[in-house]
Structure formats: structure tokens, C-alpha cells
Structure 1
Amino acid sequence: MPLIWRVLGTNAAVLVVALAVLVFSPATVSSSPRAMEVVVLVAGLAGMLALDYLLLRRAFAPLERLTDFARGVDPLRPGDRAQAGEAVEPQVADATRAVNEMIERLETERRDSARDALAAQEAERIRIARELHDEVGQTLTAVVLQLERSARELRDAPVQRAHVEEARELARTAAEEVREIARRLRPEALDDLGIASALVSLATQSARHAGVRVAHEIDPQLPPLDDDAELVVYRVAQEALTNVARHSGADAARLRLAPAPPASPGGPPSEVVLTVSDRGRGFDPAALAGGGERGIRGMRERAVLAAGRLELESAPGEGTTVRLTVPVARGPRA
């Protein structure tokens, strides 16, 4: 039944009941109403309003549930859809479908815009990494070579030679840091060897530069991922390990990449799960703010790009676990 007719029918039923009470009950109202008659009329009116409220609340309950759902939609947690339920009015079912279609469009548009933004960001990373390596890095290497020649020429001036050698070591350190920054901006292993080798390299770099030992476990039977999904997995792992080094206080972490259990026994896996965990100080996710919030939000936005989902588990004193789930490639990769 259309909602408008249901509301009209509810109000009509209440009025019919009130009319029947007035017609068939012995209650009467004097031309000069007495106090008791006023009390009866007020009580009757209150009863009619209460009955009308209960009936209308039941009629509008599906719309209230739809409103609550729409208010709780989180664009960084895609996939949720409103459920109309059974035996609902056509208008409610239509409104539910319209809300779901709107959410689908918004998620698609957000995913497309995020993909464009990420592509632009990665292109800029590649450009900066290339310039750092080819220009700044080469310039610093030339400075190191020049200082080495100057040091050899100052054999008879030990004090000046010591200053030149100190400057040479500073220049060499700067050149190594520039190359490391270039590698972090765009990991060559990801382009050349794939996500498994890139994550192993990332774990090694974390141990060497951040002092965090990373026990890595990469499933050898890993199903193929799209290029976007591989990039998202790498960046989320990179951000998660950076957070371990900066905030957890832990000196060890665990990184695992493996297929998710298949939906049907014996079937192929449809998702891949990245897990980065530590046993550090942990935190309350509900109280997260500032830079940490931006870091988590960035990981969630990347997960949306790959049509995946990001889960964060942490509590003070109990460590932190970041879990990213992304779908496998739909077809053979080029």
C-alpha cells in the first residue's frame, strides 16, 4: 500500500474509533461542560493522539532506518548498502534503491578521482626521484670525486687534508641519502620484480634505516594483483612500517601477504590480505588526531582506490595491527 494511503487510513481509523465512542457510548457533553466532562474529553483526545502516534511511528519506521543509515555512511568504508526489508511500501523500497544507487555513483566517482590523483602523485614521485638521482645525486658524486682529488693533493698539509676528507664524507653521506629518498619515492623493485620482492626489500630497508626488524611472510602462491592494487599494497605497508618506527616504540614488526580464504571450499581466492602488526604501545583509534589521523586516512583512501578495505586494530599497551584486503586481478595481466 502506498505510504500516503497508509497514513490517511491510520488517521481515518482513529477518527472512526472516536466517532463510534461518541455515538454508541453513554457519554454526553452538556451545553455548559462540567469539569468531569472536560477531563473525559481531554483523556479521549490524548488517547487518540497516542494511538495515532503509535500507528504512524510504525508506518514511518522504515524511513527512519533509511535516514539513520544514510547519516552513517562512511565514504572510506565502501560497500555498505541499505536494506529495505520485506513487506515495505513501494515508496520506501524506491527510496532505498535511490539511496543505494546514489552511494554507488559516489563510490565510483570517488574511486575514479582517487585513481587520477594517485596517478598524478606517482608520476610526480617518479619525476622527482629521477631528478634527485640523475641531477642532485650525480652532482654530489662529482663533488665527492673532486674532494678526493683535493685530498690527494694535500698530502703535505694534514690539517687542510683532514678538513677536505671530512667534507668528502659529508658529501658522500648526502649522496647516499638522496639515492635512498629517490628509492622511497618510487621503488624500482615494484616496477621490475613485483609486489613480493618489493615488500621484502621494504622490510630490509626498515631494518637498516629505522632499526625495526621486520619478519616478513609472503605466500609463494600469491594470486596476481592489478597494478593499482600492487601500488596500494606497497604504499599501505610502507606507511604502516613508518608508523611502527615513529610511534609504536617497538623494535620488531611482522608483515604478511597471503590470499584470503576462498568463498567456497576448493575455489580460487578472490582477495589478498596484507597484515602489518607490532607489539608496541598501541593507541586508542577513537582518540586518534593530528598527523596520525591523516596517515590512517591516507591508507583508507588508498584502500578505496583498489576497491579494498582497511581495518585497524589497536589498544593502549596491546600493539597495533593494520589489515588491508584487496581483490585479485579480474583477468590476466598484460
Structure 2
Amino acid sequence: MTNATSIELKRITWISIVLFLLSCYLWSQREFFSQFKTPSALTIHTGLETATIIIFTSVFMVCWNAFGNLRKRSSLILAVTFLSASIFGFFHAISFQGMPGFPAAIDMHKSLSFWLLSRYLISLTLLGLVLQTRDIDISESISKISVYLGLVLTIIATFIIFTYPEIFPTTYQKGYGQTTFKIHCEMVLVALNSLTAGLFYRQIVQSDRIDSEGHLKIKRSMLFFAAAMMAISETYFSLYSFPDEIFVVIGHAFQVIAALAIYRGMVSINIHAPYSSLIQTTKDLQQTADELLIHKQRLTGVIETAMDGILTINDQHKIILVNPAAAQIFGYTVEALIGASIDIVIPMRHRNVHSAHVHQFGERGTTRRKMGGNFDDYYVTGLHADGTEFPIEASISSLIENEKRFYTVIFRDISERKAAKEKMAQYHSELTQLSSALQSIREEERKHIARELHDDLGQLLAALRMDLSLLQRDQNMTDKSRLTVSSMDQLLLTSITTLRRIATDLRPRALDEGGLFFALQTLQKEFSQRHGVHCDLIADEEQLILDDERSTAIYRIIQESLTNVARHAKANHVDIQFERTEDALQFVIQDDGRGIEEGAMNKTRSFGLVGMRERIKAMQGKFKVRSEVGKGTRIEIHIPLDTPIYNPAKTSTHLVQN
């Protein structure tokens, strides 16, 4: 319990004790004070009851209308209760001390019946509030049905009291006053309200345990005071015999005080609690606003300190946001760019096309994309303040805000990168030309060495063997000399065979004499015989009628592939299959070996694959390797036949010298 609640409870408790002691004194002097009569009793009683009815009606209005659909179960019950109590109180007031056309005794019975109904409704509702501490939300439809049902039941009870008053026990007898039944009913009300006041007092003391989420948010101190005042007032209403006694006025005065306290307590439920909720919502909104401000400041800081340029334009192509990096890239100040047209940073020849592209980008509904022609050069051309043009790598995004489209471009100056890329491309082209030239020179040297070995050294070895053959026919040669000459003949034969193999490896004569098809057949047979791997060549001679450059390159590619199979694949079978169209030649080399491990193809020492790539690139072909460990390797090659081959013969000398 807070200090404020404790102080308020003490004050209300002292007021209740003082009023209770005053009432005890009045009760003790009942015979004396009953002698005093109230002048104009009907007017005073009606006025006090009317004030009570007005307060109860206000409670109903507060409980029902506070914050529209924001209604709890407690608010609904209170609204129905005080609507019915106000109606019963109204009929009590107009029937008090007789109505025109009705006997006075009967009218007093009706009036007191209305009185008891209204007070029991209020007392039981207050007791329910103190017993049921938890609250729940009620829908609008259920609220309306409950109010309509309570109104219907109230009208039915009113009709019964007016039409069949004898159904209820007699509450008043003319010349005698209140009946025993009426007094007992008042005593029960005193007990109910006293119990309610005690329970409210205990709840106030234990408020720390019950004022949690989902519990009633009520002003318990005021409802404690209201229950205490109602208990005191009902005691006065049980004492009088005739309506003009002073006890009736005192009881009505306590009743008005109780009604005011109830109103104050109900306001806590239906106005203070929603306002507290509203205040909490306002605090949450303020906290959210503070967080948004922090995020805005952070975003502004990111934009201001970003190394890349950031620029936002509206649907009129006016610049509405630009960061310092963007202004520096274009050579302007931020202030000079804000509000200017985007055309100020676009070359004249691109402005119309740029506007059309931006419009199409917005119409397609795409939210973001890179700007530029293709993957290799996602850049556009920008315009410096001094009129010079420069390349920009940029991406564009769009969003719609308040039915207006905005475009944001994030970009960077790539002048240095573009220059470096162009220089790298130039170096790569030169290296490719050098590689092709070296390949061509190597082939020429191989061809020359193979020809020299075959034509010169081969002929000398053949002549030497012929001489040995003539020497072997000499009849005067001893057996020992004959054995020596025979051994020399075997060595010469081995040398000639080795020489032919070396010459064939350097430059197969079949390639020059029979063409690519016969050269590949010879390579296939020698590979199978030498390595014991079955090799199939699936091709037609007509498919492989090619010029010397392509024939040599294809032969070397297949030769290198078979060498790799022999060294690494541990295969049992190799297929070489050719397919030719009018403008291209495709061939596949497939083995059933162990395959190539992941990453091995990109090793810097895989010179075999590098050489194959360079040869294929020189023919402007395509090269693809598919391999899976344990399932072999498949090399797919596509060579166009309608494109010229780079001829290094014209540039080889120049490149080598340089």
C-alpha cells in the first residue's frame, strides 16, 4: 500500500468513525429526536432522492460510455445495476407518501418496495466487486444485450409492483409506520454493507497482492467509505415510524454521501483506469517515438558517413536526399544538389534514355536492381561538375510513400577500377597471344625436330644397319666378331624403334600424311597397347577433315587427355566420340576412372588442363570438365568451325622478341 493510499484510508476511516459515533448518539436519543418533525418533508425527501437518482444515473453513464468500446465486465455490471437502481429510485420518489388517485398506504408500500429493490441491487453489486477481484473484457454485442435484458427485467418488476403490489410482503401500515419485514430488510442491508466495508478495508491493506495485471482497477477507499455510509443510512431508515421524522432526512443525507462516494469509486474504474491505460499508451508511443528518433539519427549518421554515394530523387526527378560522399563524387556541395534535377549529374546524351529507364523501372514494380549493361560492367556514366565524364557502379531501388514513388541510387566512382580492368584485359589478351604463339612455335619446333630425326638421323641409322648386314656376310669373320656384330645390329634396331617413337610423339607422321582421323587411330592403338586400357574412337574420317591448325590442336588435346588418364585415372575404358555440324565440331572424352578430386582442376600446376584450355581458347571454343570421385571424368569440347583461328605465325617473332 502506497503512502498516498495509506493517508487517504486513515482520513476516510476517521470520517467514518466520527459519523458512526454521531449516529450512535442519535440512536441513543431516538425518543428525544423523534419528536422533531421535518417541515415540507415531501419536498426535502424528494429533493434528496432526486439527487441520489442523478448521481446513480451519472454512474451508469460513466460506466457505459467511458471510452466507447473499452469496457470491462465490472463496468457492464455497474452500468446495468445503476440503470435499474435509478429507475427504481425514480418510481420510489414519485410514489413516496401517496400518488394522485391511489390510497396513501398502498402507495407507501409501493414506494418502499422500489426502495428495497434499488438498495439491494446496489449493496449486492458492491459486495460482488469486493469478492470478484479479477476482471475480463466484454464485447460490444454482449454489453448491449445485457443492458437491454436488465432494462426489460426492471420494467417487468416495476409493472408487477404497480399492478400487483400485494405479491410483496407489506412494508408500511398507515398509522403504524414501517412493518417488521421492512425493518428486517433494512437490518440485512446494514449487515451486507458492513461486511462489504470490512472486505474493502482488508483489500486496501493487501492492495500490493491484488493490484496486479487482470485485477480490478478500482478506488477501494471510496467504495469502503460508500459501503460504510450505506450501512449507517440503512440504520436510520430502520428507526423512523412516520415519513416526516428527522431520521428520514438524516438517512437520505447519508445516502447522498454514499452515492457520491460510489460515483468517485466508479470514476476510478471507468475513467481513471482507461486514462491510466491511455497514459501508458502515450508513454509507449513516446518511447517508440524516442526509439524511432534514435534509429533516424543512426540512419542519418550511416548515410552521412557512408563511403558510397547515396542519392534519392522523387517522381519529378528532383534530388531530395544526397550524402556528402555523393556530392564529393560529382564535385558539388550537398546544398547545391538538394532540389536540383538529376540531369545535372547525367551526360546530355544519356538524359532522355535515363528518364525512360527510371520510369520503366518504377512501372514494372521492381524494388531494386543493378544499373548497367551486363554482369561484367554494371556501370553507368556520370558527369562531374567540371563537365568530365566518369564511370559509376550503381544500384537503384524504389519505394512508394503517400502514393508517391521515390528512387534511391547507391553508387561509387570506379574510374580506377575500370582502367585497371581494361589494362588487365589487355595483359590477358597479350598473354593469350603469347601462349598461342609459344604453342605454335613449340609445334613448329617439334615438327622440325621430328623431321630431322626421321629424315636425317633415321636414315643414318638405317644405312649403318645395312653396313652391318653386309659385314655379317663376311665368311672370314670369327664367331666372336659375328656375335658382336649381331649385338650391334640389335642395338641399332632398338635405336631406330626408339627414334621413330620419339619422332611420332614430337609430330606424328600420320597427322601430316593421313590427316587427323588416321593420326587418332594410331594414337588409340598405341595407347591401348602401351597402357593396357581399352580405348574406343567413335568418329568418321569425313568428320575430321580439318585444317592443319585445328587438326594439330585437337590431336594434342586428345593426346594430353589420354596421358592424364594413363597417369592419374586408373581407368579400364576410354571413349572418344566426335559429332560434327555445319558450323561446329564437338567431341567428348569419357573414362571410367577414379575421377578428379574437388579443387584439383584449379591447381596452379595442372599444366595439362591449362594447355588444353589455351588451345581451345585459341580456337574460340568451349571447354567443360565434369568429374565425380569414383565415377570417372568427362571432358566436353565445342569448337566453332566458322570463326578464324588466331594465327601466331605472324606475331610470334615479335612477341618472343619483346
Same fold (TM > 0.5)? yes
- Taking the TM superposition and a 5 Å limit, the aligned residue runs for 1:114-129 are 114-129=435-450
Determine whether 1:140 maps to 2:461: yes
Does residue 629 of structure 2 align to residue 308 of structure 1? no
**Helix, strand or coil at the partner of 2:599:** helix
**Structure ID, larger Rg:** 2
What's the CA shift string for 1:268-320, capped at 9, x where partnerless? 64321222221122221513588961111111111121112322222332212
Structure-to-structure mapping, 1:187-226, within 5 angstroms? 187-219=508-540, 222=543, 225-226=546-547
Mapping of 1:1-334 within 5 angstroms? Answer: 45-50=297-302, 53=306, 56=309, 82-84=376-378, 91-92=391-392, 105=426, 108-153=429-474, 157-158=478-479, 160-219=481-540, 222=543, 225-259=546-580, 269-287=582-600, 293-330=606-643
How far off is 1:168 after superposition? Answer: 1.8
* Separation of aligned partners in 1, 2:473 and 2:623: 57
Whether contact under 8 Å (2:539, 2:578) holds in the other structure is yes
Name the CA shift for 1:296/1:155 in 2 (closer, same or farther; >3 Å).
Answer: farther
Q: Report the residue type matching 1:320 in the other structure.
A: T
Residues 226 and 329 in structure 1, CA contact (< 8 A), matched pair in contact too: no
Higher relative contact order (CA 8 A, sep 6+): 1
CA distance in 1, matches of 2:529, 2:450: 20
Quote the Cα distance in structure 2 between the aligned partners of 1:298 and 1:251. 25
Three-state SS of the structure 2 residue aligned to 1:222 is: helix
CA 1:296–1:136: 2 relative to 1, 3 Å: same
Let me know the Cα RMSD of the aligned residues. Answer: 4.1
Deviates more, 1:189-198 or 1:221-230: 221-230
Give the aligned residue type for 1:176.
Answer: T
The answer to whether the 8 Å contact 1:283/1:314 transfers is: yes
Structure 1 residues 180 and 103: alpha-carbon distance in aligned structure 2, compared to 1, 3 A threshold: same
For residue 611 of structure 2, what is the amino acid of its counterpart?
Answer: G
Q: TM-score scaled by structure 1?
A: 0.65
- TM-score normalised according to structure 2 size: 0.35
Structure 1 residue 231 displacement after superposition:
1.8
Contact persistence 1:82–1:99 (CA under 8 A): no
Deviation at 1:124, TM superposition (A): 0.8
Provide closer, same or farther for how the CA distance between residues 146 and 102 of structure 1 changes in structure 2, counting only shifts above 3 A.
same
User: In structure 2, what is the Cα distance between the partners aligned to 1:283 and 1:132?
Assistant: 37
Once residues 101 and 139 of structure 1 are traced to their aligned partners in structure 2, the CA distance between those partners, rounded to angstroms, is 55
Alignment partners' CA distance in 2, 1:221 and 1:123: 26
Looking at structure 2, the residues matched to 329 and 131 of structure 1 have their Cα atoms a distance apart, in angstroms, of 35
Q: Deviations over 1:236-258 (max 9, x none)?
A: 01111112222222243111121
CA shift, 1:207, in A, is 2.3
Percentage identity across aligned positions? 27
Return the alpha-carbon distance in structure 2 between the equivalents of residues 213 and 127 of structure 1: 32
**Measured at CA, do residues 147 and 215 of structure 1 come closer, stay the same or move farther in structure 2, by a change above 3 Å?**
same
Cα offset, 1:51, TM superposition: 5.0
Whether contact under 8 Å (2:625, 2:634) holds in the other structure is yes
| 2:392 counterpart SS class | helix
Corresponding residue number in structure 2 for 1:14: none
Q: Match of 1:302, as an amino acid?
A: R
Distance 1:84 1:138 in 2: 64
Q: Aligned pair count?
A: 270
The alpha carbon displacement at 1:327 in A equals 1.1
Q: 2: distance between equivalents of 1:225 and 1:163?
A: 50
Q: What runs of 5+ residues in structure 2 fail to find an aligned partner? A: 1-290, 313-325, 327-368, 383-390, 394-413, 645-658
CA contact (8 A) 1:206 1:212 kept: yes
2:634 aligned partner, one-letter code? T
Deviation at residue 136 of structure 1 after TM alignment:
2.3
Q: What's the CA shift for 1:98?
A: 7.4
What letter is aligned with 1:47?
L
- Please list every run of 5 or more consecutive structure 1 residues that lacks an aligned counterpart in the other structure: 1-38, 70-80, 260-267
Instruction: Report the Cα offset of residue 138 of structure 1.
Output: 2.2
